[in-house]
Structure 1
Amino acid sequence: MPIIKFTANLKRFYPDLSEVEISSLDLNEILNELECKYKGLKDYVVDEQGQLRKHVNIFIGEELIRDRVSLSDSVKPNDEIYIMQALSGG
């Protein structure tokens, strides 16, 4: 099962947030399962149209996801998925 990991920034909103194994291999389903466990987390990650928010990045292993619109990137059973706040500025 894929392991979902988060940056420490999200802990200020979800203090009990920790890495979790999710049985799904679909990013949308993974986000739905995370929403059941951490109410409101999905709204932090995606907007009203289901697209990845500008201030959020998702990596599957070491690769940044390519499809920020429909989140169709493939997930394998042994993948580590990282959900993190994007950093900007100079």
Structure 2
Amino acid sequence: MPRIAFTPQLRRFTETPEIDTPAATLRQALEAAFEVNPRLRGYVLDDQGHLRPNVVVFIDGRRSADRIALADSLQPHSQVHVLQALSGG
């Protein structure tokens, strides 16, 4: 089953569960995580349900191509990592 994990920076704001899900797409995997912790949605998605500009997702080490529909396919053993971009100087 695909596994979804979130960046440690998000733990400062809300619980970030690592979960295994039978999801076939990135959107389905994210929805499974949001079922565990609904507050997480607002940190990852904007009001239109798209990835926030400061969030990037890697699936099996490759950057997600679809920031809008989140329709990237997942394989049975995919590893999904949701990261927040950091800035500073």
What TM-score, normalized to structure 2?
A: 0.88
The percentage of aligned residue pairs carrying the same residue is 38
> What are the superposed Cα offsets for residues 60-83 of structure 1, whole Å, 9 maximum, x if unpaired?
011000111111111111010000
> What are the superposed Cα offsets for residues 20-62 of structure 1, whole Å, 9 maximum, x if unpaired?
1111112212121111101211221111111110010100011
User: Are positions 1:10 and 2:10 aligned together?
Assistant: yes
Displacement of 1:89 after TM fit? 5.0
RMSD: 1.5
User: Are positions 1:63 and 2:54 aligned together?
Assistant: no
Which residue of structure 1 aligns with residue 26 of structure 2?
A: 27
**5+ residue gaps, structure 1:** none
Aligned-partner Cα distance in 1 for 2:76–2:42: 25
**5+ residue gaps, structure 2:** none
Q: How many pairs are equivalent?
A: 89
Aligned-partner Cα distance in 2 for 1:46–1:60: 17
4+ residue stretches of structure 1 with deviation over 2 A?
Answer: 87-90
Aligned-partner Cα distance in 1 for 2:78–2:34: 20
